[in-house]
Amino acid sequence: MNCKGKTLFSIVSIIMIALSFSGCIVHSPDVVYLEHASRTEWAFVVTQINELNDLGFYGSNVTIGIVDTGIDVNHSALQHLNVVWKDYVNNKSIPYDDNGHGTHIAGIISARGELNGTAPEADLIVVKALDEDGMGSDKTIAKAIYFCMDPDQDGNISDGADIISLSVGGFDWPIVGDFMGDASNKACQAAIEMGIVVVVSAGNNGPYNSDVSPPATVSLTIAVGAIDRSKNIAEWSSRGDNDGLPFVSFDDRYDPSKKPEVVAPGVGIISTYKDGFYANLSGTSIAVPFVTGIIALLLEGHPQFKHKDAMAVEHLKMVLMNTAEKLEGQEEPHDRYYGYGLIQSYDAFLAMEGD
């Protein structure tokens, strides 16, 4: 693969098996196709999503932006959706997904029927920024983030996303003071300053000593690692470098923004897929929509935190930090593997009461 002169991002699913100096990522799309499926119930139990759903919270009046490979809106579990759509790859006006990953992400959030998603009543803005191979440039990812912020580009972000879901990852390699992923990093920061919560996959570069993948390196993003059904960290889930190791991170990180921030289910997750199928996928990218959906439930119950400012985003992160479940073997208050712990929906919801 010739990626010379380009900064590319890929979907962070399964295991990244090669990483070139130029920042191109090769991933292994080990997809298990299913014609019928029931949802991965343990994932909804360990994160307390079921408890908030039982209270009647399903993401109503919350808008989620998904930057990925697209969406199959003809899938039986997604036909209820009326999405705002933008295609920066092929400029098509009708939603589609020629890869399948984006449909999997959307299903974890929005599916109805055989496998209900985390927040099926949330509105979706879906931007295709990754091609059929799951690859996309830094500038395209940045454009997609800005579109999620203000879809009609009129300067009024009230019709934009409250949360942006980024199941993508690049590689941050310093070259004469310049960084790959600079455009998308700046776009994430701009969104956060407008009070938009940005949830990003930590990356699949573990267990080696590196760091989370950009744009998860941006301070007030929420970087998400992946656990399995036994609550063990996935071996390939990227670890955080929070001590300013040379050539990785240049500033120490402080609570609540040490990386990764939280972990969520990301191993063996069944969701919707392209062409009407279902699929079983793994990756930190698959953990992202669980956190995205949970935040949608929290914002539905506590709308005072929507589209406020960066301080509101930081406050939400403090809540997630303080209410996360500490897992076996995890260092406290932060662990470079597990972050602050496993995200807990109901506990976070209660902690926000009165704020």
What percent of the chain shows pLDDT beyond 70?
84
Report the CATH number at residue 329: 3.40.50.200
pLDDT surpassing 60 at residue 156: yes
H or E stretch at 184 = helix 182-193
**pLDDT category, 242, cuts 50, 70, 90?**
confident
By annotation, the residues acting in catalysis are: 68, 101, 285
Identify the pLDDT of residue 115.
87
Identify the pLDDT of residue 101.
94
More confident site: 174 or 93: 93
Domain carrying residue 146:
8-351
Determine if the pTM surpasses 0.85.
yes
- 243-289 pLDDT, tens digit per residue, is 765 544 445 688 999 999 999 999 999 999 999 999 999 999 999 99
Which of 112-116, 173-177, 243-247 has the highest average model confidence (pLDDT)?
A: 112-116
Q: What would the mean pLDDT of 31-46 be, rounded to a whole number? A: 83
Question: Does a structural domain hold residue 3?
Answer: no
Question: Does a structural domain hold residue 275?
Answer: yes
**pLDDT category, 338, cuts 50, 70, 90?**
very high
Distance CA 146, CA 213 (A): 20
Identify the pLDDT of residue 91.
97
Question: Does a structural domain hold residue 314?
Answer: yes
Identify the pLDDT of residue 251.
55
H or E stretch at 201 = strand 197-201
Domain count for the chain: 1
Q: What would the mean pLDDT of 65-86 be, rounded to a whole number? A: 96
Question: Does a structural domain hold residue 1?
Answer: no
Q: What would the mean pLDDT of 3-27 be, rounded to a whole number? A: 36
Q: What would the mean pLDDT of 147-155 be, rounded to a whole number? A: 95
Q: Are 345 and 297 in contact (CB under 8 A)?
A: yes
Which of 68-82, 160-174, 236-250 has the highest average model confidence (pLDDT)?
A: 68-82
Identify the pLDDT of residue 248.
47
Q: What would the mean pLDDT of 177-205 be, rounded to a whole number? A: 86
pLDDT surpassing 90 at residue 318: yes
pLDDT surpassing 70 at residue 103: yes
Place of tokens 């879809």: 151
Distance CA 338, CA 328 (A): 10
Residues 6 or more apart whose Cβ sits within 8 Å of residue 228: 234, 265, 266, 267, 268
pLDDT surpassing 90 at residue 38: no
User: What's the length of the chain?
Assistant: 355
pLDDT surpassing 80 at residue 354: no
Distance CA 11, CA 15 (A): 10
Identify the pLDDT of residue 304.
93
pLDDT surpassing 60 at residue 175: no
What percent of the chain shows pLDDT beyond 90?
72
Identify the pLDDT of residue 172.
41
Q: What would the mean pLDDT of 177-195 be, rounded to a whole number? A: 82
What is the pLDDT of the chain when averaged over all its residues? 86
- Burial label, 354 (beta-carbon count in 10 A; 0-12, 13-18, 19+): exposed
